Amino acid sequence: MAKANLENVGLNYIAIEGMIGVGKTVLATKITEKLQARLVTEEVEENPFLVNFYQDMRTYALPTQLFFLLSRHRQQQQLTQQSLFQEKIISDYSFVKDRIFAYLNLSEHELTLYEKIYAFLEKDVLKPDLIVYLQAPIEILIERIRKRGRAYEQDIDPEYLKVLSDAYNRFFLHYDATPLLIVNTTNLDYVKNEQDFIQLFQEIITTTSGRKFYSPKVKK
């Protein structure tokens, strides 16, 4: 099999999206290794408000959201300043997903402030050539979150995860700013099963326009 190369399909920047625990970073890392690209990971654990947010969402929603927004913008600015014709980029998040959390967690007045800041920052952000949106049932996500054992995630209310999942699905149902591949990961194990990864990888590098769905069936 010929060496995989993003140049062959016109993709320089791929962002992996999806819910907490769905496997974004793992997939982004595997694609990065296969393409010898640069990996960009979201700086989640650097947010000093996150632990308190999961314990008291109403009080800590705004500072948590603004910290994430500014942190994501700083990372994206660095990408914009680089020559993507010299280096391929795989990211485990997209800048646009920030608004999913903002509209879910912020009050009306907080959103007014947020939108003014977001509009000012958005113009500096480079759009991905493709967003890969990973989906999984809530039960699977909860189990994965439990297994990876991050202390601050163990306090997440399952009901909040359900509401967040619905918000993600609504957002990407209407998303059309870039090419989009929607992947149902229920019957995928791209961590332990190399064939699963190869098949998903082929779907990714051949999605260069429009919207595409990938939902493997249960293996017999």
Neighbouring CB atoms inside 10 A of 138's CB total 16
Active site annotation includes 189: no
Query: Counting every residue, how long is the chain?
Result: 220
The residue type found at 107 is S
CA within 13 Å, CB half, 28: 27
**Which one from 56, 92, 155, 189 is the annotated catalytic residue?**
92
Alpha-helical regions (H) of 36-107: 50-55, 57-81, 98-105
How far is Cα 87 from Cα 35, in angstroms, rounded to an integer? 10
Tell me if 133 sits within 8 A of 182, measured CB to CB. Answer: yes
Active-site residue list: 92
